[in-house]
Amino acid sequence: MPTPEKVERVAELKERIEGSAALLLAEYRGLSVSEITELRRSLRETDTSFAVIKNTLMARAAVDAGIEQLPEMLAGPSAVAFVHGDPVAAAKRLKAAQKEYPALVLKGAYLDGAMLDAAAANSLADLESREVMLSKIAGMLKSEMSRAAAMLVSAQSQFLSLLEAYKAKLPAETEPEAEPVASTEETTEPEAEQAPADETPEEE
């Protein structure tokens, strides 16, 4: 039956797993205490904590956190890097440490809900870091925005030129409409009635 201390430790590890952006699993066989301390300090610069943990406790915590496949990678002396920053930057730092500490082996990783084997975990270090990718994306967006702005200015200039040309041609092509012409039919006025010749007005 697990002791209260182990139960508390598993709960703590489960919380750390769930609060991490990624997990990097390494075998540290052959590393001295001072080398592990130096590695831990180096990884801290990438917002990553490196801890040597008993396999049984880590396996139980991983299962409780819903990562059923992780215990398969916990053979031999294992250490876990809890990544809170950029997983690529942490993987790069671990890969660089392997050159200095040949005994250090990256065994796998857990990232974005998926387990990665040793080859895939090591390939993370060959990717560009998030800062570099964001910088490239920002540069591409800036370039596209500049291009779009230039196209907009060009289109506006062409439109204004066409409008001016249209205005210049408008008076020559448009004539004022003729006024309606009055009817030319002859009109005859009725002749004034004449008094009969044999009738003269009476004298008073």
Q: Can you spell out the DSSP letters for 20-36?
A: -SEEEEEE-TT--HHHH
Cβ neighbors of 98 (< 8 A, separation 6 or more) are 104, 105, 106
Angle (CA) 27-30-35 rounded to 5° is 90
CB 97 within 8 A of CB 65: no
pTM over 0.75: no
Nearest 10 degrees: Cα torsion 40, 41, 46, 52: 10
pLDDT score of 140: 58
CB 43 within 8 A of CB 106: no
Report how far apart, in Å, the C-alpha atoms of 89 and of each of 3, 52, 133 are. 37, 20, 12
Question: 24 burial class (0-12, 13-18, 19+ CB within 10 angstroms)?
Answer: buried
Report which of 45, 46, 31 is spatially closest to residue 100, judged by C-alpha positions.
Answer: 31
Q: Is 48 helix (H, G, I), strand (E, B) or coil?
A: strand
pLDDT score of 128: 62
Q: Is 89 helix (H, G, I), strand (E, B) or coil?
A: helix
Tens digit of pLDDT at every position of the chain (204 positions): 578 888 999 999 999 999 999 999 999 888 889 999 999 999 999 999 999 999 999 999 999 999 999 998 888 889 999 999 999 999 999 988 988 888 898 999 999 889 999 999 888 888 865 555 455 456 656 656 666 666 777 766 676 676 676 667 665 554 455 555 554 444 445 444 444 444 444 444
CB 109 within 8 A of CB 116: yes
Annotate 98-154 with DSSP letters as a single string: HHH-TT-EEEEEEETTEEE-HHHHHHGGGSPPHHHHHHHHHHHHHHHHHHHHHHHHH
pLDDT score of 56: 93
According to DSSP, the β-strands at 78-83 and 48-52 are antiparallel
pLDDT score of 156: 67
